[in-house]
Amino acid sequence: MKLNLKIWRQKDNESKGNFEKYLIDDITPEMSFLEMLDILNEKLINENIDPISFDHDCREGICGSCSLFINGRAHGPDKGITTCQLHMRKFKDGDSIIIEPFRAKSFPIIKDLVVDRSAFDRIQHTGGYISINTSGNTQDANTIPIRKEDADNAFDAATCIGCGACVATCKNASAMLYVSAKVSQFSYLPQGKVEAKERVLNMVKQMDEEGFGNCTNTGACEVECPKGISIKNIARMNREFYKAKI
């Protein structure tokens, strides 16, 4: 396949960025999207041109670091996948592909397609964990009976990989799907109830301090989430937050 690429280039957060066009060929349908970018970067290096910076790690849809905005969609035209799981068979010979970083005030651009998502880490650090001391005669967690429905819901929420597609897709750049998933994965379980009030209050406060927008229930976040996190978690987080406030 021969493709026309239009890729965002930006030296750093202080510089003004712009789109640059690249023509690439000999791309096969079996290649992943990131492999296609690898080939482009090899070509640029051979031409003494600065290669395109983009994030990646596991390339298995686990870490979420490969996040790209492709033709106006987070992670590209396929559903339920991350960018590294997107294959070139989703495109046709001669297609034009626009590649951008995730754009949000709280995700400042580091270089080219790489953004700083440490805001998610800071939210997680404020309460997205269980710190109860379980030493001594505490009952083993595996022996605590939990309703299967609650266990399934907690597991579904815990599949969030923090890629930021929800933020990049939302017209308000809201992080509520991410935060609600991190709140819900513990609020369904007895181990998470001890710190439930502090958790939701602290995480929502940090989310607001990071500059993320609010949720207006358009549902775009759920549609583009590669792990299918439900917006029902947002409703649950809101209930937990109001209960904690009261």
- Extents of the domains making up the chain: 3-111, 117-245
Tokens in use for 10? 């930006």
d(CA 154, CA 141): 15
| pLDDT at residue 140 in the model | 67
pLDDT band at 112 (very low <50, low <70, confident <90, very high): very high
| pLDDT at residue 55 in the model | 96
User: What is the pLDDT averaged over residues 102-126?
Assistant: 97
For the stretch 32-64, pLDDT in tens is 999 999 999 999 999 999 999 999 999 999 999
Can you tell me whether residue 132 is helix, strand or coil?
coil
| Burial call 102-122: b when 16+ CB within 10 Å, e when fewer | bebebbebbbbbbbebebbee
CB-based contacts of 176, cutoff 8 Å, min separation 6: 166, 207, 212, 214, 215, 221, 234, 237
List the strands of the sheet with 18-24, edge to edge: 18-24, 3-9, 96-100, 69-70, 73-74
Name the nearest CA neighbour of 227 among 172, 174, 164.
164
pLDDT of 141 higher than 70: no
Q: What's the CATH superfamily of 3-111?
A: Beta-grasp domain (3.10.20.30)
d(CA 106, CA 173): 8
Q: Which residue has the tokens 């650090």?
A: 125
- Cα distances (Å, whole numbers) of residue 193 to 23, 150, 178, 199, 235: 55, 13, 19, 9, 17
| Percent of the chain residues topping a pLDDT of 90 | 91
Containing 188, the helix (H) or strand (E) segment is none
| pLDDT at residue 143 in the model | 74
Q: What's the CATH superfamily of 117-245?
A: Alpha-helical ferredoxin (1.10.1060.10)
Can you tell me whether residue 175 is helix, strand or coil?
coil
Cα 83 to chain centroid distance, Å, stands at: 11
CB-based contacts of 221, cutoff 8 Å, min separation 6: 165, 166, 167, 169, 170, 174, 176, 177, 229, 231
| pLDDT at residue 191 in the model | 86
| pLDDT at residue 138 in the model | 65
Judge whether 211 and 175 are in contact, CB under 8 Å: no
d(CA 82, CA 32): 11
pLDDT of 207 higher than 70: yes
| pLDDT at residue 145 in the model | 84
How many CA atoms are closer than 13 Å to the CA of 162, on its beta-carbon side? 15
pLDDT of 68 higher than 90: yes
User: What is the pLDDT averaged over residues 118-133?
Assistant: 91
